[in-house]
Amino acid sequence: MQSIIDKIAEWLKDILIDGIVGNLSGMFDNVNTQVGEIAGEVGKTPLQWNSGVFSMIQTLSETVIIPIAGLILAFVMCYELIQMVIDRNNLHDMDTWMFFKWVFKTFVAVLLVTNTFSIIMGVFDVAQHVVNQSAGVIISDAGIDLASAIPDMETRLQAMELGPLFGLWFQSIFVGITMKALSVCIFIIIYGRMLEIYLMTSLGPIPLATMVNREWGSMGKNYLKSLLALGFQAFLIMVCVGIYAVLVQNIATETDIIAAIWACMGYTVLLCFTLFKTGSLSKAIFNAH
């Protein structure tokens, strides 16, 4: 009877070991794919990311938003002229230079509105250059496969009892499901950033139309700050990926399989959290006074 029980236990043990190795082999595939694509995605300008969407946004901005920006610009410059005249002692102290100043301001404002897309593309070209330069320094190879990273895994599993193997099998299933959810989170963060860039780009002419006025100019200044924050958010994302890549390289030195599994999960959760925080962090940096 004891031999039959031992055979059943050995059979269950072999099934559990095969299941654990199978779960660990593909556990981080989705995350590895998403992390590997981050450097390529954040290094693209809005035009490079999707030329079709960019053309649609540009057409909408030029045909719908720029006329509205022109009306706002006319109001702002009329307000600027009235303010300049009133400030000169109710028309008793008039200088001709103030009208040249007003004409120059109007010229600059029209130039900003009509070249909105060139200004926006300039910001993202600079950000892309920074990301491309950092790619050669930051380690971006964040791929990890526990089944191959931990040496003699099957030998270690064979030495474990049936109870711990059951626990490890359930843990590998739970962590695998969590990894799939985290890969979706990484996808949402990276693609959501680009959608936010397109939305901000579409309304660019309106805040830039207010740049030359002292009272209304804060709208345009805040818009440029937000634009710079979105552009250089890509650099912070690259730094996050580099930190994650350095951390997961230490997984191969783990002697405890369970600790290695939870360490990988912890690093991935940390990556998702920091990627989510890069948006608010970059805005805080560029909005700091």
CA 31 centroid distance within chain? 15
On whether the CB atoms of residues 194 and 46 are closer than 8 A, the answer is yes
Q: Which domain holds residue 242?
A: 15-63+115-286
Q: pLDDT digit string (tens) for 49-70?
A: 888 888 888 888 888 888 888 8
Q: pLDDT digit string (tens) for 184-218?
A: 777 888 888 888 888 888 888 888 888 887 778 78
Q: Which of 44, 230, 47 is nearest to 128 (CA)?
A: 44
Average pLDDT over residues 143-152: 57
User: Is 97 contained in some domain?
Assistant: no
Q: Quick one: pLDDT at residue 173? A: 76
- 238 Cβ contact partners less than 8 Å away, ≥ 6 residues apart: 38, 39, 42, 131, 134, 135, 138, 140
- Look at 27-36, 121-130, 231-240 and tell me which has the smallest mean pLDDT: 27-36
On whether the CB atoms of residues 134 and 241 are closer than 8 A, the answer is no
The residue type of 229 is A
User: Is 182 contained in some domain?
Assistant: yes
Q: Quick one: pLDDT at residue 289? A: 47
Q: Quick one: pLDDT at residue 106? A: 84
- Look at 23-27, 56-60, 121-125 and tell me which has the smallest mean pLDDT: 23-27
User: Is 88 contained in some domain?
Assistant: no
Average pLDDT over residues 114-123: 85
Percent of the chain at pLDDT > 90 equals 0
pLDDT-based confidence at 151, cuts 50/70/90?
low
User: Is 242 contained in some domain?
Assistant: yes
For the chain, what is the mean pLDDT? 75
Distance between CA 243 and CA 247 in Å, rounded? 6
Q: Quick one: pLDDT at residue 74? A: 87
User: Is 99 contained in some domain?
Assistant: no
User: Is 8 contained in some domain?
Assistant: no
User: Is 91 contained in some domain?
Assistant: no
Q: Quick one: pLDDT at residue 152? A: 63
Residue 252: pLDDT over 50: yes
On whether the CB atoms of residues 147 and 36 are closer than 8 A, the answer is no
User: Is 142 contained in some domain?
Assistant: yes
Distance between CA 199 and CA 217 in Å, rounded? 21
Q: How many domains does the chain have?
A: 1
Q: pLDDT digit string (tens) for 83-108?
A: 777 766 555 566 667 778 788 888 88
How many residues belong to the chain?
A: 289
